[in-house]
Each structure stands twice: as C-alpha cells, then as structure tokens.
Amino acid sequence: MYDIIGDIHGHADELRELLELMGYKHRGKLHAHPDRQAVFVGDFIDRGSQISEVLQIVRPMIDNGHAVAVMGNHEFNAIAYHTPDPANRGQFLREHNNKNDRQHAETVRQLTAGQLSEAIMWFRSLPMSLDLDGIRVVHACWDIGSINVIERALAEHDGLSTDFMLAATRKSEDLCQSVEDVLKGKELTLPNGISFKDKDGHERSEVRTKWYEHPAGKTYREYTLPAIEEVPDEPVPESAWNQVTQYNDDADPPVFVGHYWLRAERPTLLAPNVACVDYSVAKGGNLCAYRWDGEQELSAEKFVWVNAR
Ligand SMILES: [Mn+2]
C-alpha cells in the first residue's frame, strides 16, 4: 500500500519527521517501511534550506524500491534551466531572467556543481505520471490526452533527452502545452480579454482549473483552484467546456497530486477520488501525506501531516 507525500521543496527535517510518524525506520542507510511504499509527487527542490538532504533521503528510498516518484514542475524547469539551447549560443532552454533565477536560486546556491549535474541527470529519469496498482499520481493534473502526448514523445525521443526538452519547451509544440497541463495544471483563459491581478501583482488572463469537476453552472471564480477572490464571478460558457479536463467519474481510480500550495488546518479532499497532498510546507504550512490502503473512495481521515518548522 502507498503513502503519497506532498511537495517537499528542501524541507528535510519535516520529511524525516513525517516518515518516522508513518513508521518508516532509518536503519543505517535509508528510510524504509516493512510493508508500505512511499510515493512522492515531485517538487523536491528550490525554496527550502535542505535541498541536498532531501535528495539524499528520497533517492536511496527510490533506488531500493521503498519509494517511487513523479516529476514536479520545479524539476522540469531545472532540467530546462541547465540545458543549453543548441540554436542560440549562450542561451538555455529556460531563460535565465530575474524571475527564473530567483525561483531556482536556492538549489544553485546549496548544491555543488557536481551535485547539481547529478541531480539533473536523476530528474531526467523521473516519470511525468504514474499509473500504479489502483491509484494514479501526477504533479498537477491527470489529463489523459496530455499524458498520451508526453508518452508518445518520450518513446520517440528516447526518454527525456535534449531533443525531448527542445520540443517540450517550444511554445508552439503540442508537447509543450501537454507538459504544462500535467506539471502546472490545466488552465482556462478568461473571456473577452478579462484579467485580474494575482497576489504578486502580476496581471493574469488565465486561471488554474478544478480540472476534476465539470464547469457547467459554475463561474470562473468557482472553477479556480485554489479559490482566488480577484477572479471574476462570470459563468464559464459552454463554448469553454471542451477546453477543460474532466476527471469526474467516481469509478475512475483515485488520483493524487501536489502543486497547488493549499492552506488549511486540516487537509481535505478535492473530490471523492482526487486528493492534493501539497499543504505549503515551504510557506509555513505543513508537509502532508495520504495513507492509501486500497480504497476507491478516499477519506480525509487518512491524511497525516507535520507542521513546517
Ligand atoms: Mn509545483
């Protein structure tokens, strides 16, 4: 059975505490549980002060079969940030501008050059989605169309190669949009050029959707994850319904995601078969896990968490 663990972002103390709380014992080399496997939803790096330690906890667990993991958008971005653009000398597949530098700064600062290049190699080995025995795991959105595009591209480009990364970072490519959907969430463009200012004051014309719900009868504000007051309370029109993912059949296997920086005293489910385990440990929230024992209908009773230190 699986313990699905949320975005860690360089918070090793909380990760150790959470693993121990769940009965994973560290005997010599790594944390292990006699009859459970950990599942990491990605976003191991950036922000926190113990990035190298996090990788030293997670990687041996995976290498020895005690855990599996999917890639987060921060790992994908890191690969692109450190991959030179073959078409533009001195440039990289992810631009080295202020915003991108800042987002990745802690990782670059804390890891030696050797550790960093080894970490990047490891990120390239991470799957973008996992269809396990009874559950599905992805960093942000289980969109089967996008997942299929990614799987085809991985087969065509021999895994997460530089060729794959070239296509995956070129805005005009289907693959680029698919990776964004799966790793950053399915977004919906607001109608009639409407925009709103987000918390950082950035003008935004797109919102992250509650991709596991049908938008019929909902307003853009109601269909945004997490809720943002500044999003207009206008109905999502029927013409937009075909742009969104729907994971709303109760018979579909439970899906676990991270990514959304949720905040709550007690974690709650997104849907009877959808759970987010990201409760913002890197912003003073908590590091959360869901302990899955084979149930089709999830229960909020099965979340466990430790507070950020
Ligand atoms: Mn993320």
For residue 261, report the distance from its CA to the centre of ligand 1, in Å: 8
Range of the domain at 232: 187-244
The candidate with the shortest Cα–Cα distance to 200, out of 98, 309, 96, is 98
Q: Is residue 28 classed as helix, strand or coil in its secondary structure?
A: coil
Is 249 inside any structural domain? no
Same domain, 77 and 35: yes
Number of domains in the chain: 2
Same domain, 197 and 94: no
Same domain, 30 and 76: yes
Placement of tokens 């070129």 in the chain: 170
How do the pLDDT tens digits run along the chain, 309 residues long? 999 999 999 999 999 999 999 999 998 889 999 999 999 999 999 999 999 999 999 999 999 999 999 999 999 999 999 999 999 999 999 999 999 999 999 999 999 999 999 999 999 999 999 999 999 999 999 999 999 999 999 999 999 999 999 999 999 999 999 999 999 999 999 888 888 887 778 888 999 999 999 999 999 999 999 888 888 889 999 988 888 888 877 789 999 999 999 999 999 999 999 999 999 999 999 999 999 999 999 999 999 999 999
Same domain, 42 and 118: yes
Same domain, 177 and 288: yes
Q: Rounded to whole angstroms, how far apart are CA atoms 142 and 130?
A: 10
Same domain, 71 and 168: yes
Q: Rounded to whole angstroms, how far apart are CA atoms 27 and 110?
A: 27
Helix (H) or strand (E) holding 148: helix 144-156
Residues contacting 255, CB < 8 A, separation 6+: 135, 136, 137, 138, 142, 212, 247, 273, 274, 275
Distances (CA, A) of 94 to 77, 110, 175, 268: 7, 20, 15, 35
**pTM for this predicted structure:** 0.95
* Secondary structure percentages of the chain, helix, strand, coil, to 5: 35, 20, 50
For residue 41, report the distance from its CA to the centre of ligand 1, in Å: 9
In contact, 84 and 45? CB cutoff 8 Å: no
Give the number of residues written for the chain. 309
For residue 268, report the distance from its CA to the centre of ligand 1, in Å: 19
Q: Is residue 251 classed as helix, strand or coil in its secondary structure?
A: coil
Domain limit, last residue, from 244, 264, 293: 244
Same domain, 211 and 142: no
Same domain, 240 and 148: no
List the CATH number of the domain containing 81: 3.60.21.10
Residues contacting 266, CB < 8 A, separation 6+: 300, 303
Domain limit, last residue, from 222, 244, 266: 244
Same domain, 151 and 237: no
Same domain, 99 and 75: yes
For residue 28, report the distance from its CA to the centre of ligand 1, in Å: 31
Same domain, 279 and 137: yes
For residue 64, report the distance from its CA to the centre of ligand 1, in Å: 25
